[in-house]
Chains A and B, each alone.
Chain A
């Protein structure tokens, strides 16, 4: 169990550019989650996958955001035409399916849009 990993850890980009983040969950976890966290706030749910299926998306996830989880393994989160308001920590988590299984979080990717 090597934990959830995220890449990159930090990303600085200019407004209007596209960025892509990667998350590698714990290998036996079939659920994967993306959250966004801004300074002084708790994480906010963005979307989640069960295996390769994206089962729910938050209204926070505008059309500029897209997430994929091909083959039910790693996941990518892409933000197109970034805006300054996208600056935040993007957290990935994974878990086993079930009502009592905790979510294991990765270290996050901190995005700064200048």
Chain B
């Protein structure tokens, strides 16, 4: 069963705009990770945020985590056509051993040139 639920399911923006994707989850977590998947390809890890962190940055990515609301958001600033992909949040529910990731259904982001 899938724990995370991304919102929206699909997002279409113009190049240069910011894209925000949200993720909600159900049970307590050790960390939450965001992955990107280009069509028909494997997943690429973007960023990991631990349960005791509230915000994290990596390049044009900004991730927030609110454990009280069991939610996270991924912000991509100054989007590019190459950012077009599906984005998944994944939670680690393995008691800190980080072996069992539970993924949401993903947000399909389309960045129009």
**Measuring CB to CB, which residues of chain A are less than 8 angstroms from any residue of chain B?**
4, 31, 33, 40-45, 48, 50, 55-56, 91, 93, 95, 98-108, 110
Q: A91-B42, A91-B43, A99-B31 are in contact. Are A44 and B2 (CB under 8 A)?
A: yes
Closest residue on chain A to residue B108 by CB atoms: A40
- List residues of chain A with CB within 8 A of the CB of B50: 100
**Measuring CB to CB, which residues of chain B are less than 8 angstroms from any residue of chain A?**
2, 4, 30-31, 33, 35, 40-45, 48, 50, 88, 90, 92, 96-106
Closest residue on chain B to residue A58 by CB atoms: B100
Q: Apart from A45-B102, A102-B33, what are 15 other A-B pairs with CB-CB below 8 Å? A: A33-B99, A42-B90, A42-B105, A45-B100, A45-B101, A56-B99, A93-B43, A98-B98, A99-B97, A99-B98, A100-B98, A102-B45, A103-B45, A105-B43, A107-B42
Closest residue on chain A to residue B2 by CB atoms: A42
Contact between chains at B103 and A43 (CB < 8 Å): yes
Instruction: Give complex CA distance A105, B90 in Å.
Output: 14
Contact between chains at B48 and A100 (CB < 8 Å): yes
Closest residue on chain B to residue A101 by CB atoms: B98
Contact between chains at A42 and B42 (CB < 8 Å): no
Instruction: Give complex CA distance A107, B100 in Å.
Output: 19
Rounded to whole Å, the gap between the CB of A33 and the closest CB of chain B is 7
Closest residue on chain B to residue A96 by CB atoms: B98
- List residues of chain B with CB within 8 A of the CB of A31: 99
Q: Which of A43, A100, A103 has the most CB of B within 10 A?
A: A43
Contact between chains at A43 and B43 (CB < 8 Å): yes
Closest residue on chain B to residue A107 by CB atoms: B42
Rounded to whole Å, the gap between the CB of A72 and the closest CB of chain B is 15
